[in-house]
Amino acid sequence: MLKKVFTVVWFYNNHDFADKFIENCTNLEKYGWYWKIFTHLDLKSKGNVEIIPMSFYEYRDLANKKLNINCHWELVEKGIKATRDITDFSPAYGIIFDKWLANSDFWGYTNFDVVNGRLDKFVSDEFLKDCDVFGNDPDALCGPFSLYRNNELVNNLFREVPQWKDMFESKDGYFNFVEDKLTQVVRTLNKTGKIRFKSAFWQSHGYNPKLRYIDGSLYDDLKKGEEIMMFHANREKKWPL
């Protein structure tokens, strides 16, 4: 069984979703899915979910060291925030967090505002056999759900983005690095055969969801009861189950 490890990086306000998110994730350990949560929040590890205590500035210093950059981000209420802005770094987590991801076959990133269903039914080990990068958006990488094969080539794909270092060091904030800049690179490298990229759209999101969670599987009654892999609460920030 392939070992798939998701990272969650959170250094801002206490998140109402955190405990429920962790409980949701524990249902997937038997299918080879694990989570590493890097945060200052007082959370408890449980089963396949490990909490790694880390402050925003410890994270920033680690990223600077691992990527050989000089980022001067500050944790402030407005401007650079330890929320959406730092997701630009997420494709570099294979380098930044290599110590914690060393034994994984695939690593990825996700958010607290995601409800997982039976991931194994969709992104199965068979599906991943001929895949180096997966994004849960049509022909694109997905901020709350992307996976990368844990090897040197794939872990360094972010360096293929022109001026990646300038963006990582900038104080200007969010560059949509994942879903725009890196997606373009991944599409090109897939066409040339350098990597194998797969995508899908096995999710729902939006306002007033009508979800059913049965024996670990997630169903969306707004999509005719269709089983979905995940729900992203990107519009209405409350736990939808």
List the chain domain ranges: 4-232
Q: What is the rounded (10 degree) CA torsion for 200, 220, 125, 101?
A: 90
Q: What are the residues whose beta carbons fall under 8 Å from the beta carbon of 112, sequence distance 6 or more? A: 8, 10, 15, 17, 18, 21
Percent of the chain with pLDDT over 70: 95
How far does CA 152 lie from the centroid of its chain? 19
Architecture of domain 4-232: Alpha-Beta Complex (3.90)
pTM given for the model: 0.95
Contact 4, 106 (CB under 8 A): yes
Supply the mean pLDDT for the chain: 93
Q: What are the residues whose beta carbons fall under 8 Å from the beta carbon of 59, sequence distance 6 or more? A: 9, 11, 38, 86
Q: Name the band, by pLDDT with cuts 50, 70 and 90, for residue 81.
A: low
Exposed (0-12), middle (13-18) or buried (19+): which is 174, by Cβ within 10 Å? middle
| Res. 79: pLDDT tops 50 | no
Of 78-82, 86-90, 181-185, least confident by mean pLDDT is 78-82
How big is the chain by its Cα radius of gyration, in Å?
17
Q: Name the band, by pLDDT with cuts 50, 70 and 90, for residue 129.
A: very high
Place of tokens 């949701």: 24
In angstroms, the CA 216 to CA 212 distance is 10
If phi > 0 it is left, if psi is from -120 to 50 it is alpha, else beta; for residue 234 that is: alpha
pLDDT value, residue 85: 72
What phi and psi, each to the nearest 5 degrees, are found at residue 168? -65, -30
